[in-house]
């Protein structure tokens, strides 16, 4: 059973499409994804956990179930000694099945996703890199996903290659870079990136991951302005972090010293998400979702903020109530006194960490594509390699 | 199938028992529990979500599956207009089934839990309050849970009543107050509280919820010192918040302006949990778990910190690696450089919120048991009642 | 010319006496005092600078000109290789002359001050320590100061010795410890300290330095309660730091890592001083001044807050205006909009330092009187001694 | 007696010239300047206070004594009901006498200064505005100052007018805007501003006030790059705030909610000044001084950082010792352990204010030259005018 309306029909009709949140961070916290490799073998090892997370995002209001195929290319799956019991094809197939199963439980589309490859960072040829995308794509075609997303690319060149491969299917293609206002890792501006992606055939362009919501919205605005200036047409998407990142440089949250195991104090509240959803909507972005750090309640907040525009409240709101209304039932009167929009909109939440600062100095090693240390390595990182890195990190 | 070894056998043998984390906050974020009433009807409405959370805690290393029966007394279930489709008995039974099902998948015990009642706050008689506990207990007996926990009591008097009821079953009884070093809401010191609970028959005493881990450990130490000074014997438990609360008064995190929808910046990291587990262990506490804010990875961190003492690593560690070792497989060299204990132990994580402070002024309304505003009310809070509360909150 | 009314007449009449602020920190910033030794040779080397600071405090509303004789005992003046061109007697005499000269320009009293000695820390005998106080006292008698203050004592025992010496002159004696609520360095409580000082003959007791204003007021309240409980009578004084010190242990700001060259972010605003003055007044303290960190405008704020109670506005207020009223004349309208009490009372001033935290971990070496490292040493600290300290500080 | 070497001789020889710090903020804290009007009548009312501050800056290493003639134009002196007992000419003359008296005590030059006028903001004609500068200039010529500074201009147009007037004397002219990287209040970039000023005849250009040191250095670098690109030649000066202002918009610290009575937590430490001096020097700036917030010890830190380059240590260093060396003489061993550069360079000083944030939202009223609310007004601001402003400030 395919959903009634495709992604292009919805966007062309001016509808707001709510995306889901990031799976690797959410499932890492639940115990099914390993931070470091960040690969999605959970689709075969623990399908019940992946299915449950899909369900929660659906319940939160998501219209898109992205297949949990992040980093599911064979070159990445076995990077640096990360042994796998399953092939890339098995992992990708299982991901498609899970996404479709849950999508059918509601009004959601299945999007097959590919992302950046170690091969590109290792300076492999265009043909080699495209062959990797093609392999994942074969599964998506077989499983008949509803549309495709090329996401989490640091270099627009690789994203263009991905779009070119994905376009061959005839399915709608979205392309999403993990860049900020300073542009991609080669210094190509967001506007220029977007123009190239649209010219390559992407119908939807935008950014995901690496930066906080308002920074991402700002970046997509730059994309939109450039696409329009070039006389092109596209739809726009945004799937940011659920972490505040005012102190990032161009590499995004990867460079923050807190990445990935100390990001808790940066997690956005649901009220931050209301602001994000409103700003994204006002910017003309109509595919609005999330990435790393998003939990189901964050997506629900996006859906609640846009409930009037969409004419629908997500199923999960039965256990919420707008703007904290559920607190009217709290036992304590001073908590009932917080059952109002005004209270939560103005709240500036304290960190509870008086020994910690509000910003960090990001690492800035200046290491980019082509540098030896970014090369693909099948063997585990050696003790000697680690020792050298530890020393180096102390002098930065 | 009952587990091989009971709670008392384990504790008497000096073993560390790892508890699970709090269900209401975790399931609120997943979309199955409503903040405000905080009741557990999800056990019948969405058993798959409750089951999955049990599984994640089991996988994280928990030896105890607490039935998700928090606030599942009939007087609480229907408080302030919160309509229910299921009876308290149905909700409690379903909770027992789910806990047992998952406990049987590993080495875990099922603990049936009761908690404080609106009836007590409304000054009902001892007999009335005890009758409420008895009703939940009947289900626990029928379902043959392994032991019982009276938890989340703000007044030691009510906790003693609960212990007296639970003792009638002959099952081991644990008692856990939600108090800090200043004692219960009537000013009874932690030490005195513990002595009364032990005298009432509790074999395990401690605290849960309301304060951060190190504050809770400190409070249990006060309990232990007093119990020993009184020449009594007991085991000790601690199930704290996963939120930093340096700015709380005696009422705990309920009084913080961030409760319950702005607590994100206060969430503990996994490294904070290592410190917590070590301090709890050093204090002689052997039942070590979590409450609100704990996600599965927090419990896993507790289990990893105590892996040597327990001679076991939790299943979920297959997707982790001690002290960030998984980062050895990260693509970026500066992230691989973080694959070491020294790095994470020293990190002081920034909040990413330069417009926010590190502490808040807690509400302190001075409203306690017997005050009209704490009285049970079956009808929904009226608009007029809310208006008065809103006004009042502005002058505090 | 002596002032019309003595200190005891004023206090007995219930008047508020405004003290001055600390000289060592203020003159260190102006370039006349060396941080480390903190000795007052500026009275002879640069009398114009000392005179000017006296004048500024007088203009700010101070009723007391303390002779700038802090640490002006011979054993301290030559500590650790600090060569002096002048004798202690010369420095003390010059200090008396300057204080009297400026006191005569307004309604102010001259107070001769002695403070703790290296000799006491070096375990010299009571007779030896008293001889040191006596030597300074001889100058005060010759110069006929109006009353005497024994201030900045970490150990009540030494303060009692000082009071016993000062009492011999027949002049009123005030005694002020640099302790907080935890008591003196031997663990004697504030209350017990105060009782001992009153019994030794001090007519005025209190605390100065080491802690922020509200902590000092709290400590003096403990003193007052104990003195009254003992059926004794006294007046009370407080001369706190102008630095916020929420993170101090019993040793006070000396232990903070920011002492003494990084304390800027902790400096109190004038509005903090209003609150301090009000709280001190409400606590029944009537000799209200300042210590390290106080600049003339801080004392003026104290005088302005208590203008109604005292029936007088300080001369310096001609260049101020209550609660920011001078801003009514500002060019920019949004600054004129700040010309109101409400604005400044509610302001929570940002640090402008997003990479810094709000609290520090104090050093806590546990080194006290009698320990070798606190012993008097005439020779300069050697390179080897420093090296050992540097190493040690890294492991703390 | 004129000093041996003029400003141009020094700068042309590549020497570093150390400026003094700001007088209005320093003397406000000492009780001689009124915040709001910020006018310098203290030169006649309390010459001893002004003289003493000059001396302290001289002792700290300053080579320039700026006449305390800030806002000493007749139109500003009587703004908004600020009655004066002295004429502008009297105030300016007294300022010149004081500066010369102290300059002669050391190796310092006297600089006569003019600053922006209310007349310009009130849209008076070029001739009217120039007439105001001319009136102050007549005094400077009569008193034979060594060179002239046109400083604290928000609009380059007015600064150019000032330079054109000052050039008529034949004395060297420096021009300093109070702008940041975003340029002047009409949006003219720093580079363009600098080019215009050099073309108008300024031999030295740069910025002062409104932003913190590193922001000011950054702005002057932009100026230098543009001047060089235009094939022009100039020397460069910088006299920044001693407040951290990471959160400012183009209007600078005036817009911060803490201005002017809550800036304490933002005050730079002496170690921040070392960094500032080094960065300014590395940027090729050779006239390095300070503005609001600078105390004598800040200027001394600048002089100490550049002691090797200048071949001279300031007189005030006799009471300091490089990098905290004076602490070698401290009684407490853990404070002696801080007598080292490494310690202070790495210190991140805590604010001691856990209820405060690290940044603020600046006011941004968007009111600029020509707007009614910026117009000159001789009469005091009325109660009704204030009421309107208070209301308005609440909605911003």
- A390 in Cβ contact with B282 (< 8 Å): no
Quickly count helices (H) and strands (E) in chain A: 17, 8
Please report the pLDDT score of residue A47 as a whole number: 98
What subunits make at least 3 CB pairs under 8 angstroms with C? Answer: A, B, D
pLDDT in tens, C95-136: 999 999 999 999 899 999 999 998 998 899 999 999 999 999
Tokens of D380: 């005091």
The alpha carbons of chain A give a radius of gyration, in whole angstroms, of 21
Measured between alpha carbons, how far is B164 from B168 in angstroms, rounded to an integer? Answer: 7
pLDDT in tens, A45-61: 999 999 999 999 999 99
Given CB atoms, is C367 within the 8 Å cutoff of chain D?
A: yes
- D87 in Cβ contact with D41 (< 8 Å): no
C208 beta partners: C239
Given CB atoms, is A395 within the 8 Å cutoff of chain D?
A: no
D352/C244 CB distance under 8 A: yes
The secondary element (H helix, E strand) that includes residue C199 is helix C190-200
A352/B37 CB distance under 8 A: no
Given CB atoms, is A354 within the 8 Å cutoff of chain C?
A: yes
Q: How far is A319 from chain B (nearest CA, A)?
A: 4
Q: What is the mean pLDDT of chain A?
A: 95
Q: By mean pLDDT, which of A125-129, A368-372, B70-74, B273-277 is the weakest?
A: A368-372
Q: Mean of the pLDDT values across residues A145-158? A: 97
pLDDT in tens, C281-340: 999 999 999 999 999 999 999 999 999 999 999 999 999 989 999 999 998 999 999 999
Residue with tokens 């560690």: B317
- C25 in Cβ contact with C292 (< 8 Å): yes
Q: Mean of the pLDDT values across residues A130-154? A: 96
- C242 in Cβ contact with C267 (< 8 Å): yes
Q: Which residue of D has its CA nearest to A352?
A: D354
* b/e per residue D2-34 (b: at least 16 CB within 10 A): ebeeebeebbeeebbbbbbbbbbbbbbbbbbbb
Optimal mutation site among D357, D361, D362, interface B, most CBs of chain B within 10 A: D357
Please report the pLDDT score of residue D377 as a whole number: 83
List CB contacts (< 8 A) between A348 and chain D: 357
Please report the pLDDT score of residue B321 as a whole number: 87
pLDDT classification of B189: cutoffs 50, 70, 90 = very high
Please report the pLDDT score of residue B165 as a whole number: 97
pLDDT in tens, A22-49: 999 999 999 999 999 999 999 999 999 9
Please report the pLDDT score of residue D217 as a whole number: 98
List CB contacts (< 8 A) between B257 and chain A: 338, 347, 350
Given CB atoms, is C352 within the 8 Å cutoff of chain A?
A: no
Please report the pLDDT score of residue D3 as a whole number: 60
Please report the pLDDT score of residue D370 as a whole number: 75
pLDDT in tens, D30-89: 999 999 999 999 999 999 999 999 999 999 999 999 999 998 888 888 877 788 889 999
Please report the pLDDT score of residue D2 as a whole number: 55
3-state secondary structure of D74: helix
Measured between alpha carbons, how far is C73 from C199 in angstroms, rounded to an integer? Answer: 26
Please report the pLDDT score of residue D1 as a whole number: 52
- B82 in Cβ contact with B74 (< 8 Å): no
Please report the pLDDT score of residue B1 as a whole number: 52
Q: How far is C6 from chain D (nearest CA, A)?
A: 26
- B294 in Cβ contact with B243 (< 8 Å): no
For residue A35, give the nearest of B212, B243, B326 by CB distance: B326
Q: Mean of the pLDDT values across residues B2-24? A: 92
Distances, alpha carbon C298 to alpha carbons C57, C315, D148, D264, D383, in Å = 9, 14, 35, 12, 28
The alpha carbons of chain B give a radius of gyration, in whole angstroms, of 21
User: Counting one residue from B and one from C, how many pairs have CB atoms under 8 Å apart?
Assistant: 8
List CB contacts (< 8 A) between A357 and chain C: 353-357
Measured between alpha carbons, how far is B56 from B54 in angstroms, rounded to an integer? Answer: 5
Please report the pLDDT score of residue B393 as a whole number: 85
Measured between alpha carbons, how far is C61 from C307 in angstroms, rounded to an integer? Answer: 10
- B188 in Cβ contact with B177 (< 8 Å): no
Distance of CA A338 to the CA centre of its chain: 32
pLDDT in tens, B72-91: 888 888 877 788 889 999 99
Please report the pLDDT score of residue C78 as a whole number: 81
List CB contacts (< 8 A) between B246 and chain D: 354
- A114-123, A154-163, B2-11: which is most confident: A154-163
Measured between alpha carbons, how far is A334 from B394 in angstroms, rounded to an integer? Answer: 11
Q: Which residue of D has its CA nearest to B362?
A: D355
Q: What is the complex's ipTM, to 2 decimals?
A: 0.96
Q: Mean of the pLDDT values across residues D346-362? A: 97
pLDDT in tens, A86-107: 999 999 999 999 999 999 999 8
Measured between alpha carbons, how far is A288 from A277 in angstroms, rounded to an integer? Answer: 7
Please report the pLDDT score of residue B374 as a whole number: 81
pLDDT classification of C1: cutoffs 50, 70, 90 = low
List CB contacts (< 8 A) between A247 and chain D: none
- C296 in Cβ contact with C237 (< 8 Å): no
Measured between alpha carbons, how far is D211 from D247 in angstroms, rounded to an integer? Answer: 10
Measured between alpha carbons, how far is B318 from C70 in angstroms, rounded to an integer? Answer: 65
Measured between alpha carbons, how far is D387 from D396 in angstroms, rounded to an integer? Answer: 15
pTM value? 0.95
Q: How far is C269 from chain B (nearest CA, A)?
A: 18
Chain C stretch 73-92, residues whose beta carbon is closer than 8 A to a beta carbon of chain D: 79-82
Tokens of D364: 């941004």
User: What is the separation, in whole angstroms, between the first and last Cα of chain B?
Assistant: 54
- A369 in Cβ contact with A155 (< 8 Å): yes
């Amino acid at each position: 059973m395919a959903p009634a309306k495709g992604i292009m029909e919805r966007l062309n009709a001016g509808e707001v499409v709510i995306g889901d949140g990031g799976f690797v961070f959410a499932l890492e916290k639940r115990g099914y994804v390993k931070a470091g490799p960040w690969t999605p073998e959970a689709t075969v090892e623990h399908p019940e956990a992946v299915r449950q997370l899909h369900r929660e995002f659906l319940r939160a209001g998501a219209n898109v179930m992205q297949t949990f195929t992040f980093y599911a290319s064979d070159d990445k799956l076995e990077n640096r000694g990360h042994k796998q019991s399953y092939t890339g094809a098995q992992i990708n197939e299982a991901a498609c099945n899970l996404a479709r199963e849950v999508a059918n439980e509601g009004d959601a589309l299945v999007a097959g996703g590919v992302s950046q490859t170690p091969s590109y960072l290792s300076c492999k040829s265009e043909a080699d890199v495209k062959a990797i995308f093609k392999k994942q794509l074969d599964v998506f075609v077989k499983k008949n996903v509803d549309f495709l997303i090329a996401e989490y690319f640091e270099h627009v060149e690789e994203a263009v290659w991905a779009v070119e491969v994905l376009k061959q299917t005839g399915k709608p293609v979205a392309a999403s870079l993990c860049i900020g206002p300073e542009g991609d890792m080669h210094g190509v501006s967001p506007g220029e990136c977007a123009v190239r992606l649209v010219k390559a055939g992407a119908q939807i362009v935008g950014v995901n991951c690496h930066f906080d919501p308002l920074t991402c919205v700002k970046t997509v605005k730059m994309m939109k302005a450039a696409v329009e200036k070039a006389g092109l047409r596209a739809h726009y998407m945004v799937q940011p972090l659920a972490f505040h990142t005012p102190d990032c440089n161009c590499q995004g949250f990867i460079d923050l010293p807190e990445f990935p195991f100390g990001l808790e104090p940066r997690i956005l509240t649901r009220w931050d998400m209301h602001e994000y959803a409103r700003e994204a909507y006002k910017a003309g972005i109509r595919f609005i979702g999330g990435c790393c750090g998003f939990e189901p309640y964050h997506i629900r907040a996006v859906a609640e903020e846009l409930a009037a525009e969409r004419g629908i409240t997500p199923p999960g709101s039965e256990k919420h109530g707008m703007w904290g209304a559920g607190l009217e039932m709290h036992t304590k009167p001073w908590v009932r006194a917080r059952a109002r929009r005004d209270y939560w909109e103005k709240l500036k939440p304290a960190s509870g960490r008086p020994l910690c600062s509000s910003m960090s100095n990001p690492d800035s090693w200046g290491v980019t594509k082509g540098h030896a240390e970014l090369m693909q390595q099948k063997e585990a990182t050696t003790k000697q390699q680690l020792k050298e890195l530890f020393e180096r990190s102390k002098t930065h």
